[in-house]
């Protein structure tokens, strides 16, 4: 998505060899107009999949997932890291290793929000090693709902996440794909939605 790539180039900060900081428009302060365009783009890609729910993981996935759900006119559900769900609720639970924090946390979704006949689009802000997406897949597979695809705002293609998801047979749609960081600058690979930019 050209608009997103331009914003990454103008406002993203490369930290070390592996991290891109985008806290001015995605992970802390959120540019709502850009997120609306992101949501619209995921909706355009998955329009024919009859998506019934968009699922993400708190916190930074919530903004793009919410706009995507709005554009598809379906609910958005986010997996919670905090254990503040009521104890009498039936929970889907798994452990996720956080790439940025280098810690493992337990994430949960209440079973009542995912049903076996759901057709789910997973959305997340970043794809690095795939642990967040694989965790969400494990939660959804406990119920047996269909996972129609994984929409990623920014994929770091030099890490293994994309390949792990593709190897498991999932469709991955990344709006920006970072091939590498070169002397502190971002070099893109062709995004999965590039053909939609040219229309």
- Work out whether 128 is an interface residue with ligand 5GP (CB under 6 A): yes
- Report how far residue 194's alpha carbon sits from residue 145's, in angstroms, rounded to the nearest whole number: 29
Beta bridge partners of 182: 185
- Work out whether 137 is an interface residue with ligand 5GP (CB under 6 A): no
Segment interacting with ligand 5GP, rule: CB under 6 A, options 73-81, 123-131, 139-147, 165-173: 123-131
Site string for ligand 5GP, 90-119 (x = CB under 6 A): ---------xx-------------------
Report, in Å, the least distance between residue 112 CB and ligand 5GP: 24
Two structure tokens written together for 43: 């909706």
Find out whether 8 and 22 touch, Cβ atoms under 8 Å.
yes
Segment interacting with ligand 5GP, rule: CB under 6 A, options 1-9, 15-23, 36-44, 110-118: 15-23
CA atoms within 13 A on the CB side of 42: 41
- Report how far residue 4's alpha carbon sits from residue 91's, in angstroms, rounded to the nearest whole number: 35
- Work out whether 14 is an interface residue with ligand 5GP (CB under 6 A): no
- Work out whether 127 is an interface residue with ligand 5GP (CB under 6 A): yes
Report, in Å, the least distance between residue 18 CB and ligand 5GP: 6
Residue carrying structure tokens 């920014």: 154
- Work out whether 126 is an interface residue with ligand 5GP (CB under 6 A): yes
Report the 3 state secondary structure along 136-149: HHHHHHHHCCEEEE
Two structure tokens written together for 50: 């009859």
- Going by their DSSP bridges, the two strands 119-127 and 146-156 should be labelled as parallel
Segment interacting with ligand 5GP, rule: CB under 6 A, options 19-27, 31-39, 71-79, 114-122: 19-27
Q: From the list 125, 148, 192, 193, which residue makes contact with ligand 5GP (rule: CB under 6 A)?
A: 125
**77, 27, 29, 32: which is closest to 52 by C-alpha?**
77
Instruction: Report how far Cα 140 is from the mean position of its chain's Cα atoms.
Output: 15
Report, in Å, the least distance between residue 124 CB and ligand 5GP: 5
Site for ligand 5GP, rule CB under 6 A: 19-22, 27, 60, 99-100, 124-132, 156, 161
């Amino acid at each position: 998505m050209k608009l997103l790539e331009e914003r990454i180039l103008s406002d993203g900060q490369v930290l070390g060899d592996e991290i891109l900081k985008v806290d001015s428009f995605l992970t802390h302060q959120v540019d709502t107009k850009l997120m609306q365009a992101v949501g619209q783009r995921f909706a355009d890609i998955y329009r024919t999949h009859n998506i019934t729910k968009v699922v993400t993981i708190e916190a930074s996935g919530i903004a793009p997932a919410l706009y995507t759900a709005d554009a598809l006119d379906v609910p958005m559900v986010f997996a919670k890291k905090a254990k503040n769900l009521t104890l009498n609720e039936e929970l889907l639970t798994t452990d996720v290793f956080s790439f940025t924090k280098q810690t493992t946390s337990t994430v949960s979704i209440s079973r009542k929000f995912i049903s076996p006949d759901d057709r789910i689009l997973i959305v997340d802000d970043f794809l690095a090693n795939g642990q967040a997406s694989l965790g969400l897949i494990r939660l959804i597979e406990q119920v047996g709902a269909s996972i129609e695809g994984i929409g990623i705002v920014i994929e770091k293609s030099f890490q293994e996440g994309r390949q792990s998801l593709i190897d498991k047979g999932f469709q991955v749609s990344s709006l920006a794909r970072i091939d590498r960081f070169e002397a502190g600058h971002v070099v893109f690979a062709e995004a999965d939605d590039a053909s939609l930019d040219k229309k």
